[in-house]
Chains A and B, each alone.
Chain A
């Protein structure tokens, strides 16, 4: 061997095998060099490749492998040591790198594999999401349908439109074969097919007690029912009786068959429901999805609401129509009434004048006739004519007044007047009749009754006169007391109308007038009717007492016009009665002081300017109180009074006294020696000229007593109790005329 430091290959270079190896190596090297290039190229292209380090490693490995193979090309012929060394180095490096790569790959390859798995997983997920998206879209679609449906339903208030629209839209949305609505019948025992999408409602009914229906009604959800149940009615198609899945849902109804009773929600069983049935087409394999069921439930609720609105609207429209009708009728009636009133007023106005004129003529001429020379027969006839015509005139006036009062056309004549005078006038008007009946009529005015007031004094007089007149009319014996005072809150109210509580104000006040009598009295049951027209307490009253029964009715209306109240109380028949009325009067403007002061003095001045000083009176009465009272009266009048407590004492005094008495007042009812005895004795002893004037005091008002007194030589009779005025008048007459006239005696 040569020491050329060469390495000899194992085989001669010209060998075929060697040549093939040489070419293969060459190509391998080529491949090995191009692979990394490719890798780099493509990796550079793709943006994401997490394993650059691995790539580098791998590239290095490949490059080195290629280098090895490339270098081994030189080893086919004899080559120098350097080549061998290089080759060896390359191989060594390659070995290192490839081992490293191998080790690395152990790590990497599972990762790479898992990428694939992840990819698969993600794909699956994407597919799922796609599916779900599809579902959501469907739901949204459904929701849109519902909204549209609701909008359609709610845009109309007509029941049929609502139902039909519902069915149509539902049919469209859910692609139904058939959709039907069943409503409860009037008796609530059956469901009747009312609306259907395709079928004709052919008066099919189903009992409400069918188990399927019960099941549906008992749940608020849509229920899948069997296609065989009786509610699954479809348009009959030849050869096809089966339908697909059927769903039914209940639709709550308002209580349409009775009036709305929101307060008593009955238990679920009795609330009426309608039934909605939806059928899928038989030839599709569709089944009911949950979301579709939900849609159906929502629609059912909306339908219920819409139906209830429609019901309410129907009701209110009906009510409004009814009201309008009634309004028209009322308006009509009002116009008729007005026409009638106008006609009546015209009639009354005319008749009033026509009736009054002849009336006045009759009354006037009868009065004149009375003044002429007449025989007693004629006179009594004329008196009757006058009385009757007066009555008739009153009646005419009353009726006219009442009709004017009724329709409110009467107005009060307001003016300023003297209030106490009104009642004094009433008393004066009543006194003649009262004295004929020997009734006592007293007027008591309260301390705070104002002197002047503003109001309608004529009507007030009329009212008071009517009331007092009634009292006098219906009292056979006893007393009629009239009290007038300012109304106080503590005064007793009307037991039948305790709400009437008059309150005074700055510009007005209330006056209370009460008339008490000891007369016939009233049955408390009759009292409410008394203020009605033409009613008297009982029919005998009219016969016995006359009158038209209008008086109290008119009084009541006058009192009402004066913002007041009038009422009657009576404890019973025979126990007298109390009539009270309260009226409102206005406060007069600050008056000039003249008018007030004139009025009261009339009482005290009056007819009694007569001075009784020096008149000596002997009062004989066994009752101490009476003696004192009479004495007080006489002293007030200015007389000189001596008292005797028995007949004997009186006679004694008469004979003893040097100066005679002017007047002797004798109580007739004394024990031992009564007034009559005394009178007889006196008349026996003294002559007419010498004796004092004899006046009997008695509580009796009947004729016999009177006549007896006069027969026995008395100069007059006074009935007890004696008032100051009475005493005054009696004394005046006595001293002027020497006797007392009939009229004075009857006071």
Chain B
């Protein structure tokens, strides 16, 4: 079994598209025989957390009067978790989202919320599918092509 830094093929394509970045590689590296489900757990947690976060965000943006600090707080959280996972595009959206909060730009915030949801859905669907597939392969006794580099 080869351990060490490596990226498996399916996910690699997501790198090319800019959906995931290097941080995800880090996470993959942390998974080994002793923690075979690490990646799955983290990713699932991220998905669940983010869904809740996005709900909270929508709610906070509907409030009248709008409290930008609250919104900013949520976005900060989202940014944090997405950067830990390595969901690069989501994180980028969060960064610019925060600028809108700083400028107290309501329309901008709403647009960014939509974008954030979109990007998150992309990550969720693609990464989710990829991981499910890989799990299947492993369950059937196959080996995922990891390689040292």
**Beta-carbon contacts under 8 Å, B1-55 to A:** 3-9, 12, 15-16, 18, 21-23, 25-27, 29-30, 32, 35, 38, 41-42, 45-46, 49
Question: Which segment, of B56-64, B81-89, B130-138, faces chain A?
Answer: B81-89
How many residues on A have C-beta within 8 angstroms of the other chain's C-beta atoms? 42
A447 touches B83 (CB 8 A): no
Question: A448-B145, A518-B92, A629-B84 given. 4 additional CB < 8 A pairs?
Answer: A444-B21, A447-B149, A721-B23, A723-B26
CB distance from A570 to the nearest CB of B (A): 13
What is the CA–CA distance of A628 and B37 in the complex, to the nearest angstrom?
Answer: 12
Q: Which of B72-80, B99-107, B112-120, B121-129 contacts A (4 or more CB under 8 A)?
A: B72-80
Is B80 a contact of A720 with CB atoms below 8 Å? yes
| Interface 0/1 of A612-634, CB less than 8 Å to B | 00000000001111101110110
Of all chain B residues, the one with the shortest Cβ separation from A628 is B42
Q: Are B16 and A629 in contact (CB under 8 A)?
A: no
Contact yes or no, B42 A632, CB < 8 A? yes
**Chain B: CB-nearest residue to A604:** B4
Interface status of A11 (Cβ within 8 A of chain B): no
Alpha-carbon distance between A630 and B148 when the two chains are bound, in angstroms: 23
Contacts of A491 in B (CB 8 A): 16
A303-311, A370-378, A478-486 - interface stretch: A478-486
A720/B84 contact (C-beta < 8 A), A632-B35, A671-B73 known: yes
Say yes or no for A600: interface residue by CB 8 A criterion. Answer: yes
Report yes or no: A622 in contact with B7, Cβ–Cβ below 8 A: no
Q: When chains A and B are docked, how far (Å) is the Cα of A420 from the Cα of B18? A: 21
Compute how far the CA of A669 lies from the CA of B75 in the bound complex, rounded to whole angstroms: 12
Distance in angstroms between the alpha carbons of A448 and B46 in the assembled complex = 29
In whole angstroms, what is the CA distance A556 to B19 when docked? Answer: 28
Interface contact B81-A626, CB-CB below 8 Å? yes
From B4, B18, B27, B146, contact of A629 by CB (8 A) = B27
B23 x A723 contact (CB < 8 A): yes
Which residues of A (620-658) have their CB < 8 Å from a CB of B? 622-626, 628-630, 632-633, 635-636
- Whether B147 sits at the interface, judged by CB under 8 Å, is yes
Among A420, A440, A481, A625, point to the contact of B42 (Cβ < 8 A). A625
> What are the residues of chain A within 8 A of B5 when measuring CB–CB?
603
- Asked if A449 is at the interface of the complex by the 8 Å CB criterion, the answer is yes
Interface residues of A in 581-628 (CB under 8 A from B): 600, 603-604, 622-626, 628
Given contacts A447-B12, A479-B21, A632-B42, contact A720 B35 (CB under 8 A): no
How far apart are B119's CB and chain A's nearest CB, in angstroms? Answer: 15
Question: What is the total number of residues of chain B having a CB less than 8 Å from a CB of chain A?
Answer: 44
Give the complex CA separation of A724 and B5 in angstroms: 10
Between-chain CB contacts (< 8 Å), 25 pairs:
A420-B149, A442-B21, A442-B22, A447-B9, A449-B149, A483-B15, A485-B12, A600-B4, A603-B148, A623-B80, A625-B46, A625-B49, A625-B81, A625-B84, A626-B80, A628-B41, A628-B42, A628-B45, A629-B30, A632-B42, A669-B80, A671-B73, A723-B23, A724-B26, A724-B29
Find out whether the CB atom of A447 lies under 8 angstroms from the CB atom of B7.
yes
A37 at the interface (CB under 8 A from B): no
Quick check: A633 and B77 within 8 Å, CB to CB? no
Which residues of chain B come closer than 8 Å to A135, judged between CB atoms?
Answer: none
Mark interface residues in A420-456 (1 if CB within 8 Å of B CB, else 0).
Answer: 1000000000000000000010111111110000000
- Could you tell me if B45 and A624 are in contact, using CB atoms closer than 8 angstroms? yes
Indicate if the CB atoms of A720 and B73 lie closer than 8 Å.
no
Chain B contacts of A624 at CB under 8 A? 45, 49, 81
Closest residue to B50 on the A side, CB-wise? A625
Central interface residue in A448, A623, A724, by most chain B CB within 10 Å: A623
The answer for the CA separation of A446 and B7 in the assembled complex, in Å, is 6
Assess whether B84 is in contact with A447, with CB atoms less than 8 Å apart: no
Residues of B within 8 A of A667 (CB): 80
Q: CB distance A635 to B147 under 8 Å?
A: no
Q: Is the CB of B21 within 8 A of A481?
A: yes
Bound together, the chains give a CA A520 to CA B113 distance in angstroms of 25
For residue A104, CB closer than 8 A to chain B, the reply is no
CB-based nearest B residue for A580: B16
How many whole Å from A696's CB to the nearest CB in chain B?
14
Chain A residue numbers with a CB within 8 Å of B83 are: 699, 720-721
Q: Is A72 an interface residue (CB 8 A)?
A: no
Question: Which B-chain residue is minimally distant from A449 (CB atoms)?
Answer: B149
Does A446 contact B12, Cβ atoms closer than 8 Å? yes
CB nearest to A483 among chain B residues: B15
Q: Binding site of B, secondary structure by majority: helix, strand, loop or mixed?
A: helix
- Taking CB atoms, residues of chain B closer than 8 Å to A243 are none
Evaluate whether A632 and B9 lie within 8 angstroms (CB atoms) in the complex, with A483-B16, A721-B84 already known.
no
CB distance from A707 to the nearest CB of B (A): 21
Measured CB to CB, the closest approach of chain A to B70, in angstroms, equals 10
Q: In the complex, what residues of B have CB within 8 A of residue A636's CB?
A: 29-30, 32
Q: How far is the CA of A639 from the CA of B49 in the complex (A)?
A: 26
Cβ-closest 7 pairs across A and B:
A442-B22, A600-B148, A445-B149, A625-B81, A632-B30, A629-B84, A721-B23
Q: Is A180's beta carbon under 8 Å from chain B?
A: no
Interface presence of A516 (CB below 8 A)? yes
How many Å lie between the Cα of A667 and that of B147 in the bound state? 33
Q: Give A424's nearest chain B residue, CB to CB.
A: B149
A514 on interface, CB distance cutoff 8 Å: yes
Interface string of A710-741 (1 = CB under 8 A from B): 00000000001111100000000000000000
Give the CA-CA distance A514 to B18 in the complex, in Å: 11
Contacts of A443 in B (CB 8 A): 22
Q: Are B3 and A604 in contact (CB under 8 A)?
A: yes
Interface centre among A445, A600, A721 (most CB of B within 10 A): A721
Given contacts A446-B12, A447-B12, A448-B9, contact A633 B149 (CB under 8 A): no
Question: Which A residues touch B46, using CB under 8 A?
Answer: 625
Nearest B residue to A516 via CB reads B18
Nearest CB of A to B5, in Å: 6
Question: In the complex, which residues of chain B have a beta carbon less than 8 angstroms from the beta carbon of A446?
Answer: 7, 9, 12, 149
A724 to B84, CA, bound (A): 12
Does A622 contact B4, Cβ atoms closer than 8 Å? no
Q: Which residue of A lies closest to B18 (CB)?
A: A516
Residues in A whose Cβ lies below 8 Å from that of B45: 624-625, 628
Q: Once bound together, how far apart are the Cα atoms of A240 and B4, in whole Å? A: 120
Given contacts A600-B4, A604-B4, contact A444 B81 (CB under 8 A): no
Give the interface centre of A448, A603, A628, A720 by most chain B CB atoms within 10 Å: A628
Chain A residues with Cβ below 8 Å from B12 are 444, 446-447, 485
Distance A479 CA – B80 CA, assembled complex (angstroms): 15
List residues of chain A with CB within 8 A of the CB of B29.
636, 724
Residues of chain A with a CB closer than 8 A to B32's CB: 636
- Min CB gap A727→B, angstroms: 9
**Given the complex of chains A and B, what is the CA–CA distance between A721 and B84 in angstroms?**
5
Shortest distance between the CB of A698 and any CB in chain B (Å): 10
Q: Determine how close the nearest CB of chain B comes to the CB of A171; give it in whole angstroms.
A: 89
In contact, A699 and B79 (Cβ under 8 angstroms): yes
Q: Chain A residues with Cβ under 8 A from B77's Cβ?
A: 622-623
Contact residues of A between 476 and 499, Cβ < 8 Å to B: 479, 481, 483, 485, 491
Question: Shortest distance in angstroms between A426's beta carbon and chain B's nearest beta carbon?
Answer: 14
CA distance A625 to B47 in the complex (A): 9
Q: Given the interface contacts A600-B4, A723-B22, does A448 sit within 8 Å of B88 by beta carbon?
A: no
Residue in A481, A518, A603 whose beta carbon sits within 8 Å of that of B22 in the complex: A481
Q: CA–CA, A481 to B25, complex, Å?
A: 12
- Determine the chain B residues whose CB is within 8 A of the CB of A630 once the complex forms: 84
Contact of B30 among A481, A516, A720, A724 (CB under 8 A): A724
Chain A stretch 48-98: residues in CB contact (< 8 A) with chain B: none
Q: Which of A659-702 contact B (CB under 8 A)?
A: 667, 669, 671, 699
